[in-house]
């Protein structure tokens, strides 16, 4: 057991024993290989179920506003950015929140392994090596080989807000080109982009797992569920799927923290993140704003200035 896990358990035990929080939101070993699951520890006797490793992929901020009372939450960099946005939008009360910050090296992308070995039967992680037995064979991978795409471009692996930090920090290498994936997509022709996203939308079954997993999709009634006005017919086809995904991206403009939870939650492997990344780049370029970096910086679309550029207006 790593020292970070020991620190997490001891911190959780102390917080619960002292009555400072009613629940600790963290991760426990899941029933599927290479899959941790969120857990909610309410007594000091149960803290030993808490874990911390490369399988802890869920953004726990999604549960922060659903559970009443005082809560502690184990927080990666992307989780902390989501908490900042939720605090800015008055979905959380800071006095009811105790943030246990832990730096993140990234999480495992199970799909990369399953593409080679089929459905995973057994898996172990030892010293950065992932040994896997799958339905189609066995193999060993380095963590770098199966690291989630979101984590490969993450520039905030260390929490931006926390009440206590456990373990060390992660050094972030300087990216040669920021948003290189978005620039690559923009370089394609209109027909190439249309074909790519058409293919992605054909895979979508509109199960709404992306929306349900997102920490910032907290509307009590989503626009796609409205009857008045009725935005969608309820059919599952390319056009309606794209309308849903595009609408969701627009609602996350200046808010998305690029945690990748939506893509990982998708059972069909739809490249949802490509749309979100494009919007994040546009917001950074037009408003010089990155979401969830600081509580003191107001969200991009919540601010008006007389000096705002108006290049979209045609001036005589």
Asked if the model's pLDDT at residue 221 lies above 70, the reply is yes
315 pLDDT tier (thresholds 50, 70, 90): low
Asked if the model's pLDDT at residue 173 lies above 70, the reply is yes
Q: What's the whole-number mean pLDDT along residues 79-98?
A: 96
Asked if the model's pLDDT at residue 2 lies above 90, the reply is no
Which pTM was predicted? 0.93
In eight-state DSSP terms, residue 147 is B
Q: What's the whole-number mean pLDDT along residues 150-160?
A: 94
- What residue ranges of the chain are covered by domains with CATH 3.40.50? 1-107+156-174
Q: What's the whole-number mean pLDDT along residues 9-38?
A: 96
104-149 residue pLDDT tens: 999 999 999 999 999 999 999 988 899 999 999 999 999 999 999 9
**Total residue length of the chain:** 316
Least confident of 43-47, 93-97, 220-224: 220-224
Half-sphere CA count of 177, side-chain side, radius 13 A: 6
Least confident of 156-160, 181-185, 228-232, 255-259: 228-232
What value does the mean pLDDT of the chain take? Answer: 93
Percent of the chain with pLDDT over 90: 83
pLDDT for the residue numbered 303: 80
Per-residue CA distances from 144 to 116, 128, 140, 188, 261 (Å)? 16, 9, 12, 28, 19
174 pLDDT tier (thresholds 50, 70, 90): confident
113-122 residue pLDDT tens: 999 999 999 9
Q: Report the alpha-carbon distance of residue 70 to residue 149 in Å, rounded.
A: 34
Q: Looking at the structure, give the CATH architecture of the domain made up of residues 1-107+156-174.
A: 3-Layer(aba) Sandwich (3.40)
Q: What's the whole-number mean pLDDT along residues 188-211?
A: 95
Q: What's the whole-number mean pLDDT along residues 188-192?
A: 96
Asked if the model's pLDDT at residue 292 lies above 90, the reply is yes
Q: What's the whole-number mean pLDDT along residues 256-270?
A: 95
Q: Report the alpha-carbon distance of residue 58 to residue 27 in Å, rounded.
A: 9
pLDDT for the residue numbered 316: 52
Asked if the model's pLDDT at residue 313 lies above 80, the reply is no
Residue scoring higher pLDDT (233 or 241): 241
Q: Report the alpha-carbon distance of residue 232 to residue 224 in Å, rounded.
A: 6
234 pLDDT tier (thresholds 50, 70, 90): confident
Residue scoring higher pLDDT (113 or 313): 113
Q: What's the whole-number mean pLDDT along residues 157-163?
A: 97
Among the residues of 39-176, which ranges form H helices? 61-64, 77-88, 110-117, 149-152
pLDDT for the residue numbered 172: 87
């Amino acid at each position: 057991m790593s020292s970070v896990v020991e620190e997490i358990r001891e911190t959780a035990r102390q917080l619960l024993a002292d009555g400072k929080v009613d629940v600790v939101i963290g991760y426990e070993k899941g029933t599927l290989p290479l899959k941790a699951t969120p857990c909610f520890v309410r007594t000091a006797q149960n803290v030993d179920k808490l874990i911390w490793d490369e399988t802890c992929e869920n953004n726990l901020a999604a549960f922060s506003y659903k559970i009443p009372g005082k809560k502690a939450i184990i927080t990666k960099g992307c989780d902390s950015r989501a908490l900042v946005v939720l605090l800015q939008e008055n979905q959380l009360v800071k006095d009811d929140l105790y943030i246990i910050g832990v730096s993140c090296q990234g999480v495992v992308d199970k799909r990369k392994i399953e593409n080679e070995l089929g459905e995973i039967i057994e898996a172990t992680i030892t010293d950065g090596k992932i040994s896997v037995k799958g339905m189609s064979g066995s193999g060993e991978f380095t963590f770098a080989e199966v690291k989630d795409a979101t984590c490969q471009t993450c520039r905030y692996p260390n929490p931006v807000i926390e009440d206590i930090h456990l373990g060390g920090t992660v050094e972030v290498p300087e990216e040669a080109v920021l948003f290189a994936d978005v620039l690559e997509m923009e370089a394609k022709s209109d027909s190439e982009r249309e074909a790519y996203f058409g293919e992605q939308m054909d895979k979508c079954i509109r199960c709404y797992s992306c929306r349900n997993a997102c920490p910032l999709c907290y509307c009590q009634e989503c626009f796609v569920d409205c009857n008045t006005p009725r935005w969608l017919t309820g059919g599952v086809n390319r056009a309606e799927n794209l309308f849903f995904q595009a609408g969701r991206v627009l609602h996350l403009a200046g808010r998305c923290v690029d945690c990748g939870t939506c893509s990982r939650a998708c059972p069909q492997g739809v490249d949802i993140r490509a749309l979100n990344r494009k919007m994040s780049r546009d917001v950074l370029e037009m408003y010089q704003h990155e979401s969830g970096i600081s509580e003191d910086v107001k969200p991009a679309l919540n601010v008006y200035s007389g000096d705002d550029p108006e290049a979209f207006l045609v001036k005589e």
